[in-house]
Chain A
Amino acid sequence: MTAPAVTGASPRPSAALKRLTGAVTFLLPLVVLVIVWEAAVRITQVHPGVFPGVGAVMKAGAESIRDGSLWMHVGASMGRVMLGTVLAILVGVPLGVLMGVSPAVSTFLTPLFRFFSVLAGIAWIPIATLWFGYGFGAIIFVIFNAVFFVVAYNTLLGVSGIPITLRNAAASLGAGPWTMLREVLLPGALPNIVTGIRTGLGFAWRGLIAAEMIATNVGLGYMLFLARDFYRTELIVFGMVVIGILWLLIDRLILAPLERRTIERWGLVRS
Protein backbone atom coordinates (compact mmCIF):
# COMPACT_ATOMS: atom_id res chain seq x y z
CA MET A 1 0.00 0.00 0.00
CA THR A 2 1.63 3.23 -1.06
CA ALA A 3 0.91 6.30 0.97
CA PRO A 4 0.32 9.63 -0.74
CA ALA A 5 3.48 11.67 -1.18
CA VAL A 6 4.48 13.64 1.88
CA THR A 7 5.65 17.18 1.55
CA GLY A 8 7.49 19.38 4.02
CA ALA A 9 9.49 18.34 7.05
CA SER A 10 8.94 14.75 8.07
CA PRO A 11 7.81 14.35 11.68
CA ARG A 12 9.60 10.98 11.78
CA PRO A 13 11.21 10.50 15.18
CA SER A 14 14.93 11.16 14.99
CA ALA A 15 17.32 8.22 14.96
CA ALA A 16 18.91 9.35 18.23
CA LEU A 17 15.55 9.44 19.99
CA LYS A 18 14.73 5.97 18.67
CA ARG A 19 18.01 4.61 19.99
CA LEU A 20 17.37 6.22 23.35
CA THR A 21 13.89 4.72 23.74
CA GLY A 22 15.30 1.39 22.57
CA ALA A 23 17.99 1.52 25.24
CA VAL A 24 15.47 2.47 27.92
CA THR A 25 13.08 -0.36 27.04
CA PHE A 26 16.04 -2.75 27.05
CA LEU A 27 17.39 -1.56 30.40
CA LEU A 28 14.09 -1.17 32.23
CA PRO A 29 13.53 -4.91 32.91
CA LEU A 30 17.11 -5.17 34.19
CA VAL A 31 16.54 -2.24 36.57
CA VAL A 32 13.37 -3.94 37.79
CA LEU A 33 15.37 -7.12 38.32
CA VAL A 34 17.90 -5.28 40.48
CA ILE A 35 15.09 -3.76 42.57
CA VAL A 36 13.46 -7.18 43.03
CA TRP A 37 16.85 -8.62 44.01
CA GLU A 38 17.41 -5.97 46.69
CA ALA A 39 13.85 -6.30 47.95
CA ALA A 40 14.20 -10.08 48.19
CA VAL A 41 17.44 -9.77 50.17
CA ARG A 42 15.87 -7.30 52.61
CA ILE A 43 12.66 -9.23 53.11
CA THR A 44 14.23 -12.66 53.55
CA GLN A 45 17.12 -11.32 55.67
CA VAL A 46 19.38 -13.86 53.95
CA HIS A 47 22.95 -14.09 55.20
CA PRO A 48 25.15 -11.81 53.03
CA GLY A 49 27.72 -14.61 52.74
CA VAL A 50 25.09 -16.68 50.92
CA PHE A 51 23.33 -14.03 48.89
CA PRO A 52 24.63 -10.45 48.98
CA GLY A 53 22.52 -7.31 48.53
CA VAL A 54 22.95 -4.73 45.79
CA GLY A 55 24.82 -2.34 48.10
CA ALA A 56 27.46 -4.90 49.10
CA VAL A 57 28.06 -5.86 45.47
CA MET A 58 28.45 -2.22 44.44
CA LYS A 59 30.83 -1.61 47.32
CA ALA A 60 32.95 -4.62 46.37
CA GLY A 61 32.97 -3.40 42.79
CA ALA A 62 33.97 0.14 43.75
CA GLU A 63 36.75 -1.25 45.92
CA SER A 64 38.13 -3.47 43.15
CA ILE A 65 38.07 -0.50 40.78
CA ARG A 66 39.83 1.73 43.31
CA ASP A 67 42.63 -0.69 44.13
CA GLY A 68 43.08 -1.48 40.44
CA SER A 69 42.53 -5.24 40.81
CA LEU A 70 39.49 -5.21 38.50
CA TRP A 71 41.47 -3.66 35.65
CA MET A 72 44.28 -6.13 36.19
CA HIS A 73 41.93 -9.12 35.94
CA VAL A 74 39.83 -7.73 33.06
CA GLY A 75 42.98 -6.73 31.20
CA ALA A 76 44.52 -10.18 31.62
CA SER A 77 41.35 -11.98 30.48
CA MET A 78 40.67 -9.73 27.50
CA GLY A 79 44.30 -9.83 26.44
CA ARG A 80 44.29 -13.63 26.45
CA VAL A 81 41.02 -13.88 24.52
CA MET A 82 42.15 -11.39 21.90
CA LEU A 83 45.58 -12.91 21.41
CA GLY A 84 44.27 -16.48 21.24
CA THR A 85 41.39 -15.57 18.92
CA VAL A 86 43.43 -13.45 16.52
CA LEU A 87 46.11 -16.13 16.25
CA ALA A 88 43.45 -18.77 15.65
CA ILE A 89 41.76 -16.75 12.90
CA LEU A 90 45.09 -15.95 11.24
CA VAL A 91 45.95 -19.64 11.07
CA GLY A 92 42.50 -21.16 10.77
CA VAL A 93 41.07 -19.16 7.85
CA PRO A 94 43.95 -19.68 5.39
CA LEU A 95 44.15 -23.35 6.32
CA GLY A 96 40.40 -23.74 5.90
CA VAL A 97 40.52 -22.08 2.46
CA LEU A 98 43.42 -24.27 1.34
CA MET A 99 41.60 -27.40 2.42
CA GLY A 100 38.28 -26.31 0.97
CA VAL A 101 39.53 -25.48 -2.54
CA SER A 102 40.10 -29.09 -3.47
CA PRO A 103 37.03 -31.33 -3.22
CA ALA A 104 39.25 -34.34 -2.60
CA VAL A 105 41.10 -32.75 0.31
CA SER A 106 37.95 -31.32 1.87
CA THR A 107 36.05 -34.63 1.59
CA PHE A 108 38.91 -36.35 3.35
CA LEU A 109 39.61 -33.81 6.07
CA THR A 110 36.06 -32.73 7.00
CA PRO A 111 35.50 -35.61 9.48
CA LEU A 112 38.83 -34.88 11.19
CA PHE A 113 38.07 -31.22 11.68
CA ARG A 114 34.57 -32.03 12.81
CA PHE A 115 35.96 -34.30 15.49
CA PHE A 116 38.39 -31.70 16.76
CA SER A 117 35.82 -28.89 16.68
CA VAL A 118 33.60 -31.10 18.86
CA LEU A 119 36.45 -31.33 21.38
CA ALA A 120 37.46 -27.67 21.07
CA GLY A 121 38.07 -25.69 24.24
CA ILE A 122 37.57 -26.94 27.75
CA ALA A 123 38.40 -30.59 27.08
CA TRP A 124 42.00 -29.51 26.35
CA ILE A 125 42.56 -27.86 29.73
CA PRO A 126 44.11 -30.89 31.48
CA ILE A 127 46.56 -31.72 28.74
CA ALA A 128 47.34 -28.06 28.04
CA THR A 129 48.32 -27.52 31.68
CA LEU A 130 50.56 -30.60 31.52
CA TRP A 131 52.26 -29.58 28.30
CA PHE A 132 52.62 -25.87 29.02
CA GLY A 133 52.43 -25.74 32.81
CA TYR A 134 49.94 -23.65 34.74
CA GLY A 135 49.74 -20.15 33.31
CA PHE A 136 49.70 -18.03 30.19
CA GLY A 137 50.74 -20.69 27.67
CA ALA A 138 48.10 -23.22 28.67
CA ILE A 139 45.31 -20.65 28.63
CA ILE A 140 46.32 -19.27 25.24
CA PHE A 141 46.46 -22.81 23.92
CA VAL A 142 42.92 -23.55 25.15
CA ILE A 143 41.52 -20.36 23.59
CA PHE A 144 43.49 -20.89 20.39
CA ASN A 145 42.20 -24.38 19.82
CA ALA A 146 38.64 -23.44 20.82
CA VAL A 147 38.56 -20.90 18.01
CA PHE A 148 40.96 -22.53 15.56
CA PHE A 149 39.18 -25.83 14.92
CA VAL A 150 35.72 -24.28 14.73
CA VAL A 151 36.88 -21.49 12.39
CA ALA A 152 38.92 -23.82 10.18
CA TYR A 153 36.05 -26.31 10.00
CA ASN A 154 33.51 -23.62 9.10
CA THR A 155 35.84 -22.03 6.54
CA LEU A 156 36.33 -25.45 4.99
CA LEU A 157 32.56 -25.93 4.82
CA GLY A 158 32.08 -22.43 3.42
CA VAL A 159 34.66 -22.73 0.67
CA SER A 160 33.61 -26.21 -0.40
CA GLY A 161 30.00 -24.99 -0.41
CA ILE A 162 30.58 -22.21 -2.94
CA PRO A 163 28.65 -23.17 -6.08
CA ILE A 164 31.02 -24.43 -8.75
CA THR A 165 29.24 -22.16 -11.24
CA LEU A 166 30.52 -19.11 -9.34
CA ARG A 167 34.08 -20.37 -9.56
CA ASN A 168 33.62 -21.22 -13.25
CA ALA A 169 32.13 -17.79 -13.89
CA ALA A 170 35.11 -16.08 -12.26
CA ALA A 171 37.57 -18.30 -14.13
CA SER A 172 35.91 -17.60 -17.47
CA LEU A 173 36.08 -13.88 -16.71
CA GLY A 174 39.84 -14.29 -16.40
CA ALA A 175 40.42 -14.60 -12.66
CA GLY A 176 43.77 -16.06 -11.64
CA PRO A 177 44.31 -18.00 -8.41
CA TRP A 178 44.94 -14.87 -6.34
CA THR A 179 41.88 -13.01 -7.67
CA MET A 180 39.82 -16.15 -7.21
CA LEU A 181 40.85 -16.28 -3.56
CA ARG A 182 40.20 -12.61 -2.91
CA GLU A 183 37.07 -12.08 -4.98
CA VAL A 184 35.27 -15.42 -4.80
CA LEU A 185 36.52 -17.85 -2.19
CA LEU A 186 36.94 -15.52 0.79
CA PRO A 187 33.73 -13.52 0.30
CA GLY A 188 31.79 -16.70 -0.48
CA ALA A 189 32.99 -18.38 2.70
CA LEU A 190 32.71 -15.25 4.84
CA PRO A 191 29.26 -15.99 6.29
CA ASN A 192 30.54 -19.38 7.43
CA ILE A 193 33.74 -17.86 8.74
CA VAL A 194 31.72 -15.36 10.79
CA THR A 195 29.51 -18.15 12.13
CA GLY A 196 32.67 -20.03 13.04
CA ILE A 197 34.14 -17.03 14.84
CA ARG A 198 30.93 -16.54 16.81
CA THR A 199 30.71 -20.19 17.88
CA GLY A 200 34.45 -20.45 18.53
CA LEU A 201 34.52 -17.26 20.59
CA GLY A 202 31.61 -18.58 22.66
CA PHE A 203 33.61 -21.73 23.41
CA ALA A 204 36.77 -19.71 24.01
CA TRP A 205 35.09 -17.37 26.48
CA ARG A 206 33.82 -20.29 28.57
CA GLY A 207 37.14 -22.08 28.20
CA LEU A 208 38.90 -18.92 29.38
CA ILE A 209 36.82 -18.60 32.56
CA ALA A 210 37.22 -22.31 33.33
CA ALA A 211 40.96 -22.29 32.61
CA GLU A 212 41.47 -19.20 34.75
CA MET A 213 39.72 -20.90 37.64
CA ILE A 214 42.10 -23.82 37.36
CA ALA A 215 45.36 -22.68 35.94
CA THR A 216 46.44 -19.14 36.75
CA ASN A 217 46.75 -16.39 39.32
CA VAL A 218 45.23 -13.50 37.40
CA GLY A 219 42.08 -13.01 35.30
CA LEU A 220 38.32 -12.89 35.85
CA GLY A 221 37.93 -16.63 36.44
CA TYR A 222 40.72 -16.50 39.04
CA MET A 223 39.12 -13.45 40.64
CA LEU A 224 35.84 -15.40 41.10
CA PHE A 225 37.56 -18.49 42.39
CA LEU A 226 39.76 -16.58 44.80
CA ALA A 227 36.69 -14.75 46.15
CA ARG A 228 35.08 -18.15 46.71
CA ASP A 229 37.99 -19.20 48.95
CA PHE A 230 37.14 -16.29 51.23
CA TYR A 231 33.35 -16.66 50.89
CA ARG A 232 33.15 -13.18 49.39
CA THR A 233 29.91 -13.71 47.48
CA GLU A 234 29.52 -9.97 46.82
CA LEU A 235 32.78 -10.00 44.86
CA ILE A 236 31.71 -13.15 43.00
CA VAL A 237 28.40 -11.60 41.95
CA PHE A 238 30.21 -8.44 40.89
CA GLY A 239 32.59 -10.54 38.81
CA MET A 240 29.68 -12.36 37.18
CA VAL A 241 28.05 -9.06 36.24
CA VAL A 242 31.36 -7.89 34.75
CA ILE A 243 31.64 -11.13 32.75
CA GLY A 244 28.08 -10.69 31.48
CA ILE A 245 28.65 -7.08 30.45
CA LEU A 246 31.95 -7.90 28.74
CA TRP A 247 30.35 -10.66 26.68
CA LEU A 248 27.42 -8.41 25.73
CA LEU A 249 29.96 -5.79 24.61
CA ILE A 250 31.90 -8.35 22.56
CA ASP A 251 28.62 -9.49 21.04
CA ARG A 252 27.23 -6.01 20.31
CA LEU A 253 30.42 -4.25 19.26
CA ILE A 254 32.23 -7.00 17.34
CA LEU A 255 30.12 -10.03 16.46
CA ALA A 256 26.76 -8.41 15.64
CA PRO A 257 28.22 -5.73 13.31
CA LEU A 258 30.33 -8.41 11.62
CA GLU A 259 27.21 -10.48 10.97
CA ARG A 260 25.21 -7.47 9.79
CA ARG A 261 27.89 -6.55 7.28
CA THR A 262 28.19 -10.03 5.82
CA ILE A 263 25.46 -12.56 6.42
CA GLU A 264 22.40 -10.37 6.68
CA ARG A 265 23.37 -7.82 4.08
CA TRP A 266 24.02 -10.42 1.44
CA GLY A 267 20.69 -12.05 2.16
CA LEU A 268 22.44 -15.26 3.07
CA VAL A 269 21.00 -15.54 6.53
CA ARG A 270 19.92 -19.05 7.28
CA SER A 271 16.75 -19.27 9.27
Chain B
Amino acid sequence: MIAAENPFARVWGAYLRLIARFPSVGQIVPFLPLIALWALVVELGVFPRAFFPGPVDVVQSFITLTWKGILPAYLEDSVVRLLVGAAVGIAVGIPLGLLVGLSSKAHKALWPILLFFQAIGDIAWLPLLIIWFGFGLQTMTFVIVYTVLFPVVLNTVLGVRSIPLELHRAGRSLGAPPWRIVTEIVVPGALPNIITGLRNGLGYGWRALIAAEMIVGTSGIGFLMFDSRRAGSVVEILLGMIVLGLLWYAVDALILAPLERATGQRWGLVAR
Protein backbone atom coordinates (compact mmCIF):
# COMPACT_ATOMS: atom_id res chain seq x y z
CA MET B 1 0.00 0.00 0.00
CA ILE B 2 1.18 3.48 -0.86
CA ALA B 3 1.43 5.82 2.11
CA ALA B 4 -1.39 8.33 2.34
CA GLU B 5 0.89 11.39 2.29
CA ASN B 6 2.32 10.40 -1.09
CA PRO B 7 1.04 13.17 -3.43
CA PHE B 8 0.65 10.75 -6.31
CA ALA B 9 -1.56 8.51 -4.18
CA ARG B 10 -3.68 11.48 -3.19
CA VAL B 11 -4.18 12.57 -6.80
CA TRP B 12 -4.92 8.98 -7.80
CA GLY B 13 -7.47 8.63 -5.02
CA ALA B 14 -9.20 11.81 -6.14
CA TYR B 15 -9.20 10.52 -9.73
CA LEU B 16 -10.75 7.20 -8.65
CA ARG B 17 -13.49 9.01 -6.74
CA LEU B 18 -14.11 11.23 -9.77
CA ILE B 19 -14.49 8.35 -12.21
CA ALA B 20 -16.67 6.48 -9.73
CA ARG B 21 -19.00 9.49 -9.80
CA PHE B 22 -18.65 10.19 -13.55
CA PRO B 23 -17.60 6.99 -15.36
CA SER B 24 -17.34 8.78 -18.72
CA VAL B 25 -14.47 10.89 -17.37
CA GLY B 26 -12.47 7.70 -16.89
CA GLN B 27 -13.05 6.90 -20.54
CA ILE B 28 -11.64 10.25 -21.71
CA VAL B 29 -8.85 11.30 -19.33
CA PRO B 30 -6.47 8.43 -20.29
CA PHE B 31 -6.35 9.81 -23.83
CA LEU B 32 -4.98 13.18 -22.69
CA PRO B 33 -1.40 12.02 -21.97
CA LEU B 34 -1.46 10.01 -25.20
CA ILE B 35 -2.45 13.08 -27.20
CA ALA B 36 0.16 15.16 -25.36
CA LEU B 37 2.83 12.58 -26.20
CA TRP B 38 1.69 12.58 -29.80
CA ALA B 39 1.93 16.38 -29.97
CA LEU B 40 5.36 16.29 -28.35
CA VAL B 41 6.73 13.76 -30.86
CA VAL B 42 5.41 15.92 -33.70
CA GLU B 43 6.91 19.11 -32.21
CA LEU B 44 10.29 17.46 -31.75
CA GLY B 45 10.24 16.66 -35.45
CA VAL B 46 11.14 12.99 -35.06
CA PHE B 47 9.26 12.19 -38.26
CA PRO B 48 8.57 14.51 -41.19
CA ARG B 49 5.38 16.42 -40.44
CA ALA B 50 3.69 15.41 -43.69
CA PHE B 51 4.22 11.82 -42.66
CA PHE B 52 3.16 12.21 -39.07
CA PRO B 53 0.91 15.23 -38.47
CA GLY B 54 -0.05 16.41 -35.00
CA PRO B 55 -3.35 16.60 -33.15
CA VAL B 56 -3.82 20.25 -34.10
CA ASP B 57 -3.56 19.40 -37.80
CA VAL B 58 -6.16 16.68 -37.36
CA VAL B 59 -8.57 19.04 -35.59
CA GLN B 60 -8.04 21.63 -38.34
CA SER B 61 -8.79 19.09 -41.03
CA PHE B 62 -11.86 17.97 -39.04
CA ILE B 63 -13.12 21.55 -39.05
CA THR B 64 -12.36 22.06 -42.74
CA LEU B 65 -13.97 18.83 -43.88
CA THR B 66 -16.99 19.36 -41.69
CA TRP B 67 -17.32 22.94 -42.98
CA LYS B 68 -17.19 21.71 -46.57
CA GLY B 69 -19.80 19.09 -45.71
CA ILE B 70 -17.63 16.22 -46.91
CA LEU B 71 -17.16 14.52 -43.56
CA PRO B 72 -20.86 14.58 -42.50
CA ALA B 73 -21.92 13.27 -45.91
CA TYR B 74 -19.38 10.44 -45.88
CA LEU B 75 -20.20 9.61 -42.28
CA GLU B 76 -23.88 9.42 -43.12
CA ASP B 77 -23.14 7.11 -46.07
CA SER B 78 -21.13 4.73 -43.89
CA VAL B 79 -23.62 4.70 -41.04
CA VAL B 80 -26.61 4.15 -43.32
CA ARG B 81 -24.81 1.26 -45.05
CA LEU B 82 -23.95 -0.28 -41.70
CA LEU B 83 -27.49 0.08 -40.35
CA VAL B 84 -29.15 -1.27 -43.50
CA GLY B 85 -26.73 -4.20 -43.55
CA ALA B 86 -27.31 -4.86 -39.87
CA ALA B 87 -31.11 -4.67 -40.22
CA VAL B 88 -31.19 -7.11 -43.13
CA GLY B 89 -28.66 -9.38 -41.43
CA ILE B 90 -30.81 -9.49 -38.28
CA ALA B 91 -34.07 -9.94 -40.16
CA VAL B 92 -32.68 -12.98 -41.97
CA GLY B 93 -30.31 -14.23 -39.28
CA ILE B 94 -32.61 -14.59 -36.29
CA PRO B 95 -35.35 -16.66 -38.00
CA LEU B 96 -32.70 -18.81 -39.68
CA GLY B 97 -30.94 -19.28 -36.35
CA LEU B 98 -34.21 -20.26 -34.65
CA LEU B 99 -34.92 -22.80 -37.37
CA VAL B 100 -31.46 -24.36 -37.21
CA GLY B 101 -31.47 -24.28 -33.41
CA LEU B 102 -34.89 -25.88 -32.99
CA SER B 103 -34.94 -28.48 -35.75
CA SER B 104 -32.29 -31.16 -35.63
CA LYS B 105 -32.92 -31.93 -39.30
CA ALA B 106 -32.29 -28.33 -40.31
CA HIS B 107 -29.22 -28.36 -38.06
CA LYS B 108 -27.78 -31.45 -39.73
CA ALA B 109 -28.40 -30.07 -43.20
CA LEU B 110 -27.38 -26.45 -42.73
CA TRP B 111 -24.76 -26.29 -39.97
CA PRO B 112 -21.75 -27.41 -42.07
CA ILE B 113 -22.79 -25.07 -44.88
CA LEU B 114 -23.07 -22.16 -42.45
CA LEU B 115 -19.65 -22.90 -40.97
CA PHE B 116 -18.08 -23.10 -44.41
CA PHE B 117 -19.54 -19.86 -45.70
CA GLN B 118 -18.60 -18.14 -42.48
CA ALA B 119 -15.04 -19.37 -42.98
CA ILE B 120 -14.82 -17.91 -46.49
CA GLY B 121 -15.23 -14.50 -44.92
CA ASP B 122 -16.86 -11.41 -46.28
CA ILE B 123 -13.90 -9.69 -47.88
CA ALA B 124 -13.02 -12.65 -50.08
CA TRP B 125 -16.38 -12.12 -51.80
CA LEU B 126 -15.44 -8.66 -53.02
CA PRO B 127 -13.85 -9.62 -56.38
CA LEU B 128 -16.80 -11.81 -57.35
CA LEU B 129 -19.31 -9.20 -56.17
CA ILE B 130 -17.57 -6.52 -58.21
CA ILE B 131 -18.00 -8.68 -61.30
CA TRP B 132 -21.66 -9.31 -60.44
CA PHE B 133 -22.78 -5.90 -59.25
CA GLY B 134 -19.98 -3.51 -60.24
CA PHE B 135 -18.40 -0.91 -57.96
CA GLY B 136 -21.34 0.28 -55.96
CA LEU B 137 -23.89 0.13 -53.25
CA GLN B 138 -25.16 -3.40 -53.93
CA THR B 139 -21.68 -4.83 -53.51
CA MET B 140 -21.21 -3.07 -50.19
CA THR B 141 -24.65 -3.99 -48.90
CA PHE B 142 -24.07 -7.65 -49.78
CA VAL B 143 -20.74 -7.66 -47.93
CA ILE B 144 -22.19 -6.12 -44.76
CA VAL B 145 -25.28 -8.36 -44.72
CA TYR B 146 -23.01 -11.36 -45.22
CA THR B 147 -20.73 -10.29 -42.40
CA VAL B 148 -23.48 -9.54 -39.89
CA LEU B 149 -25.52 -12.62 -40.84
CA PHE B 150 -23.18 -15.39 -39.73
CA PRO B 151 -22.36 -14.29 -36.20
CA VAL B 152 -26.07 -13.64 -35.62
CA VAL B 153 -27.14 -17.04 -36.99
CA LEU B 154 -24.42 -19.02 -35.23
CA ASN B 155 -25.01 -17.30 -31.88
CA THR B 156 -28.78 -17.63 -32.17
CA VAL B 157 -28.33 -21.37 -32.70
CA LEU B 158 -26.03 -21.50 -29.70
CA GLY B 159 -28.55 -19.56 -27.62
CA VAL B 160 -31.50 -21.73 -28.62
CA ARG B 161 -29.56 -24.88 -27.84
CA SER B 162 -28.39 -23.61 -24.46
CA ILE B 163 -31.91 -23.14 -23.08
CA PRO B 164 -32.32 -25.73 -20.31
CA LEU B 165 -34.64 -28.64 -21.11
CA GLU B 166 -36.53 -27.86 -17.87
CA LEU B 167 -37.74 -24.54 -19.26
CA HIS B 168 -39.22 -26.24 -22.34
CA ARG B 169 -40.82 -28.81 -20.05
CA ALA B 170 -42.15 -26.16 -17.68
CA GLY B 171 -43.72 -24.30 -20.59
CA ARG B 172 -45.36 -27.41 -21.98
CA SER B 173 -46.66 -28.60 -18.64
CA LEU B 174 -48.15 -25.14 -18.06
CA GLY B 175 -50.11 -25.60 -21.27
CA ALA B 176 -48.12 -23.60 -23.85
CA PRO B 177 -48.67 -24.69 -27.47
CA PRO B 178 -45.54 -25.06 -29.68
CA TRP B 179 -45.59 -21.57 -31.20
CA ARG B 180 -46.00 -20.01 -27.75
CA ILE B 181 -42.98 -22.02 -26.60
CA VAL B 182 -41.04 -20.26 -29.37
CA THR B 183 -42.25 -16.76 -28.55
CA GLU B 184 -42.29 -17.05 -24.76
CA ILE B 185 -39.29 -19.28 -24.09
CA VAL B 186 -36.99 -19.80 -27.08
CA VAL B 187 -36.68 -16.20 -28.26
CA PRO B 188 -36.16 -14.56 -24.85
CA GLY B 189 -33.91 -17.41 -23.76
CA ALA B 190 -31.70 -16.97 -26.80
CA LEU B 191 -31.75 -13.17 -26.66
CA PRO B 192 -28.49 -12.64 -24.74
CA ASN B 193 -26.68 -14.83 -27.28
CA ILE B 194 -28.42 -13.06 -30.15
CA ILE B 195 -27.11 -9.75 -28.83
CA THR B 196 -23.60 -11.19 -28.47
CA GLY B 197 -23.91 -12.30 -32.10
CA LEU B 198 -25.02 -8.83 -33.08
CA ARG B 199 -22.06 -7.31 -31.26
CA ASN B 200 -19.61 -9.63 -33.04
CA GLY B 201 -21.42 -9.18 -36.33
CA LEU B 202 -21.30 -5.41 -36.14
CA GLY B 203 -17.63 -5.56 -35.10
CA TYR B 204 -16.78 -7.59 -38.18
CA GLY B 205 -19.33 -5.85 -40.40
CA TRP B 206 -17.78 -2.56 -39.51
CA ARG B 207 -14.35 -3.68 -40.71
CA ALA B 208 -15.83 -5.25 -43.83
CA LEU B 209 -17.55 -1.97 -44.63
CA ILE B 210 -14.27 -0.04 -44.32
CA ALA B 211 -12.52 -2.55 -46.56
CA ALA B 212 -15.35 -2.46 -49.10
CA GLU B 213 -15.34 1.33 -49.12
CA MET B 214 -11.61 1.32 -49.69
CA ILE B 215 -11.73 -1.17 -52.53
CA VAL B 216 -15.02 -0.47 -54.29
CA GLY B 217 -16.24 2.72 -52.66
CA THR B 218 -17.04 6.11 -54.04
CA SER B 219 -17.97 7.58 -50.66
CA GLY B 220 -17.85 6.77 -46.95
CA ILE B 221 -15.18 6.95 -44.25
CA GLY B 222 -13.19 4.07 -45.73
CA PHE B 223 -13.17 5.83 -49.09
CA LEU B 224 -12.11 9.09 -47.43
CA MET B 225 -9.13 7.34 -45.86
CA PHE B 226 -8.09 5.53 -48.99
CA ASP B 227 -8.56 8.55 -51.21
CA SER B 228 -6.40 10.56 -48.81
CA ARG B 229 -3.80 7.85 -48.97
CA ARG B 230 -3.68 8.18 -52.75
CA ALA B 231 -3.22 11.92 -52.32
CA GLY B 232 -0.64 11.26 -49.61
CA SER B 233 -2.60 13.23 -47.02
CA VAL B 234 -1.91 11.56 -43.69
CA VAL B 235 -3.99 14.06 -41.71
CA GLU B 236 -7.22 12.89 -43.26
CA ILE B 237 -6.31 9.25 -42.76
CA LEU B 238 -5.78 9.87 -39.06
CA LEU B 239 -9.01 11.83 -38.91
CA GLY B 240 -10.84 8.93 -40.54
CA MET B 241 -9.41 6.48 -38.01
CA ILE B 242 -10.43 8.63 -35.08
CA VAL B 243 -13.93 9.08 -36.48
CA LEU B 244 -14.19 5.30 -36.93
CA GLY B 245 -13.19 4.68 -33.33
CA LEU B 246 -15.63 7.27 -32.00
CA LEU B 247 -18.41 5.92 -34.19
CA TRP B 248 -17.96 2.47 -32.69
CA TYR B 249 -18.24 3.98 -29.22
CA ALA B 250 -21.50 5.60 -30.31
CA VAL B 251 -22.88 2.31 -31.67
CA ASP B 252 -21.81 0.57 -28.48
CA ALA B 253 -23.22 3.18 -26.12
CA LEU B 254 -26.45 3.89 -28.00
CA ILE B 255 -27.42 0.44 -29.29
CA LEU B 256 -25.51 -2.50 -27.87
CA ALA B 257 -25.03 -1.56 -24.22
CA PRO B 258 -28.70 -0.62 -23.61
CA LEU B 259 -29.80 -3.88 -25.25
CA GLU B 260 -27.46 -5.86 -23.04
CA ARG B 261 -28.60 -4.04 -19.93
CA ALA B 262 -32.26 -4.57 -20.78
CA THR B 263 -31.91 -8.31 -21.28
CA GLY B 264 -29.16 -10.42 -19.89
CA GLN B 265 -27.96 -8.42 -16.96
CA ARG B 266 -31.15 -8.29 -14.93
CA TRP B 267 -32.08 -11.84 -15.90
CA GLY B 268 -28.73 -13.10 -14.69
CA LEU B 269 -28.12 -14.76 -18.03
CA VAL B 270 -25.56 -12.38 -19.39
CA ALA B 271 -22.45 -13.84 -20.92
CA ARG B 272 -19.20 -12.51 -19.43
Assess A/B contact in the complex (Cβ within 8 A): yes
Chain A residues with a Cβ under 8 A of chain B: 25-30, 32-33, 49-50, 104, 107-112, 115, 118-119, 121-127, 129-131, 202-203, 205-207, 209-210, 213-214, 220-221, 224-225, 227-228, 231, 233, 236-237, 239-241, 243-245, 247-248, 251, 270-271
Find out whether the CB atom of A111 lies under 8 angstroms from the CB atom of B271: no
- Segment with Cβ contacts to A, from B56-64, B67-75, B105-113: B105-113
With A213-B215, A214-B215 given, is the CB distance from A130 to B229 under 8 Å?
Answer: yes
A-B contact count (CB 8 A): 154
Find out whether the CB atom of B210 lies under 8 angstroms from the CB atom of A123: yes
B204 nearest CB across to chain A (Å): 7
**B241 beta carbon closer than 8 Å to chain A:** yes
The 21 listed contacts between A and B (C-beta, < 8 Å) are A25-B108, A29-B108, A30-B113, A104-B12, A107-B26, A111-B30, A118-B245, A122-B211, A123-B244, A130-B232, A130-B237, A206-B208, A209-B124, A210-B214, A220-B124, A227-B127, A236-B128, A244-B116, A248-B115, A248-B119, A271-B271
Find out whether the CB atom of B116 lies under 8 angstroms from the CB atom of A206: no
Which of B27, B112, B207, B271 makes the CB contact (< 8 A) with A26?
B112
With A130-B234, A210-B214, A228-B127 given, is the CB distance from A109 to B30 under 8 Å?
Answer: yes
Q: Which residues of chain B have C-beta atoms less than 8 A from A244's C-beta?
A: 116-117, 119-121, 124
Find out whether the CB atom of B128 lies under 8 angstroms from the CB atom of A240: yes
Q: Which residues of chain B have C-beta atoms less than 8 A from A203's C-beta?
A: 204, 207
Find out whether the CB atom of B241 lies under 8 angstroms from the CB atom of A123: yes
* Max count, chain B CB within 10 A of own CB: residue among A122, A207, A231, A243: A122
Q: Which residues of chain A have C-beta atoms less than 8 A from B127's C-beta?
A: 213, 224-225, 227-228, 236
Q: Which residues of chain B have C-beta atoms less than 8 A from A220's C-beta?
A: 124
In the complex, which residue of chain A has the Cβ closest to the Cβ of B31?
A112
Query: Shortest 9 CB-CB distances between A and B: which pairs?
Result: A228-B127, A126-B229, A244-B120, A210-B211, A247-B119, A244-B119, A126-B225, A224-B127, A122-B207
Q: B15-35 toward A: CB 8 Å interface, digit per residue (1/0)?
A: 010010000001110110010
Q: Which residues of chain B have C-beta atoms less than 8 A from A245's C-beta?
A: 119
* Complex: A124 Cα to B120 Cα, angstroms: 22
* Complex: A6 Cα to B86 Cα, angstroms: 55
Q: Which residues of chain A have C-beta atoms less than 8 A from B109's C-beta?
A: 29, 32
Q: Which residues of chain B have C-beta atoms less than 8 A from A118's C-beta?
A: 244-245, 248-249
Chain B residues with a Cβ under 8 A of chain A: 12, 16, 19, 26-28, 30-31, 34, 51, 108-113, 115-117, 119-128, 130-132, 158, 162, 193, 204, 207-208, 210-211, 214-215, 225-226, 228-229, 232, 234, 237-238, 240-241, 244-245, 248-249, 271-272
* Complex: A237 Cα to B132 Cα, angstroms: 13
Find out whether the CB atom of B204 lies under 8 angstroms from the CB atom of A130: no
Q: Which residues of chain B have C-beta atoms less than 8 A from A224's C-beta?
A: 124, 126-127
Find out whether the CB atom of B228 lies under 8 angstroms from the CB atom of A248: no
12 extra interface residue pairs, beta carbon distance < 8 Å, beyond A112-B34, A239-B124: A29-B109, A30-B112, A30-B113, A112-B31, A118-B245, A130-B51, A206-B207, A209-B121, A213-B126, A233-B128, A237-B128, A240-B128
Find out whether the CB atom of A127 lies under 8 angstroms from the CB atom of B31: no
Find out whether the CB atom of B245 lies under 8 angstroms from the CB atom of A115: yes
Which of A33, A131, A227 makes the CB contact (< 8 A) with B51?
A131
Find out whether the CB atom of B123 lies under 8 angstroms from the CB atom of A119: no
B237 nearest CB across to chain A (Å): 5
